[in-house]
Structure 1
């Protein structure tokens, strides 16, 4: 697996703490098997959406594997009262 940008590794340390090694192994597996997921934007979206540890992380990677556009939509856009989704985050940029 290629070296990830510092902002992604820092955010993963915060979110996964003692499970960081497992999270890196899972991520490496998905990136190796699905080259189209090897995008900083997609990885940031998956990490951002992960709320409850390793299980949530792998679930989000599976969703990204199925259609990366879904995780981008869920991570970067918000919808209010049936309105069209509005972009509120841009994970082409770093977490900071």
Structure 2
């Protein structure tokens, strides 16, 4: 059995509501999609507590061990909801009761809206998808990791500046992210000011409205 990361309450859907046609056995490993993290599915092994089998429509508590724990470091919290699926079919819904792997536990004083890029203004996600197209998931993940690493980077202005300077190139975006870690003020300077140090953009504003019009 894999190491358990958290205990959850699992509610299996009935067969009529897209659930399984037969029972699930302890050790069952469907995909998991945590709320507000639609871009990243992981695999979660279910070890049932007090039983070895669960029928469609039943509710059970289980220990869950997930893959890619590094991606969800400091992001999970008690009462966080998720769904578990087979391919595109939702088998059931879950809610975290207790977190066992403390590396995954979100610090209690952190607002989820600051560490989850999905909860930032929609123009940011739209711009990532537009600029990085087939590589947008990778670009998204790189920025997600940045904002979880340090509270100084949890700022929509800085994130927009990073995306702008990335210039639609994933390798260049990664270099900009590394420079952000050294001094985020350089990022704002490069993104918002011209060579004469005149401010020409304001990334407090959403993409498409960042240009500062010259006063005649």
Shared fold per TM-score greater than 0.5: yes
Bigger shift: residues 37-46 or 24-33: 24-33
What are the ranges of 5 or more consecutive residues in structure 1 without an aligned counterpart? none
Q: Structure 1: which 4+ aligned runs deviate by more than 2 Å?
A: none
What are the ranges of 5 or more consecutive residues in structure 2 without an aligned counterpart? 1-114, 209-216
Aligned counterparts of 2:120 and 2:177: Cα–Cα separation in 1 = 16
> Which residue does the alignment assign to 2:200?
88
**Structure with more helix by fraction:** 1
> Which residue does the alignment assign to 1:42?
158
1:52 Cα deviation (Å)?
4.6
> Which residue does the alignment assign to 2:179?
63
1:78 alignment partner, SS class = coil
**Structure with more strand by fraction:** 2
Select the structure with the greater relative contact order (CA < 8 A; seq sep ≥ 6): 1
Give the aligned CA root-mean-square deviation in angstroms. Answer: 1.1
Aligned counterparts of 1:59 and 1:4: Cα–Cα separation in 2 = 22
2:169 equivalent among 41, 49, 53: 53
Distance 1:47 1:70, change over 3 A: same
2:167 alignment partner, SS class = coil
TM-score, normalised with respect to structure 1: 0.89
Q: Aligned pairs, how many? A: 92
- The structure with more radius of gyration: 2
